[in-house]
Amino acid sequence: MALDLDNLNNAIDALDRSIETAKDLDKSDPVLLEVVRAGVIQQFEVAYEQCWKMIRRWLRENYSIEEAEFPRTRKDLFRHASKAGLIDQPESWFSYGDARNLSTHTYNQARADEVYQTALRFLKDARRLQKNLKSLS
């Protein structure tokens, strides 16, 4: 059965749009830039959550019960996803998870900047996952 990728597609597209908006923004308005970057961080959170949940769903539908239930942590999940060809480097996804955990503390400007930069890197890997899920479903 093919997975319904609509929520994943919508989340990744929203992240992409918010990143493009931030890049195109006139840097002379620091308040507006801060607000848009906060939006990028929020879209990153949603897209990341959709990605790992879709990986879990794909593994459950395509592996035996024993294999699909093995990943006890997200790191295990990303290792399995890499072996299955859904993602390239699980270590990158580990760092995305770390950034997602930091994103709840975006009131700290240094952390917000770090999560924002991670969101920019994440988009490429999220698009790759999206493509792989589509071709393997």
Chain mean pLDDT for the chain = 90
User: For the segment 26-65, what is each residue's pLDDT rounded down to a tens digit?
Assistant: 777 889 999 999 999 999 999 999 999 999 999 988 887 6
Domains of the chain (ranges; CATH) run 6-136 (1.20.120.330)
The share of the chain scoring above pLDDT 90, in percent, equals 69
pLDDT mean over 87-106: 89
- Residue 112 — pLDDT band, cuts 50, 70, 90? confident
Considering only residues 61 and 120, tell me which one the structure prediction assigns the higher pLDDT: 120
Q: What is the CA 19 to chain-centroid distance, rounded?
A: 13
Considering only residues 1 and 32, tell me which one the structure prediction assigns the higher pLDDT: 32
Q: What is the pLDDT of residue 67?
A: 66
CB atoms within 10 A of CB 46: 15
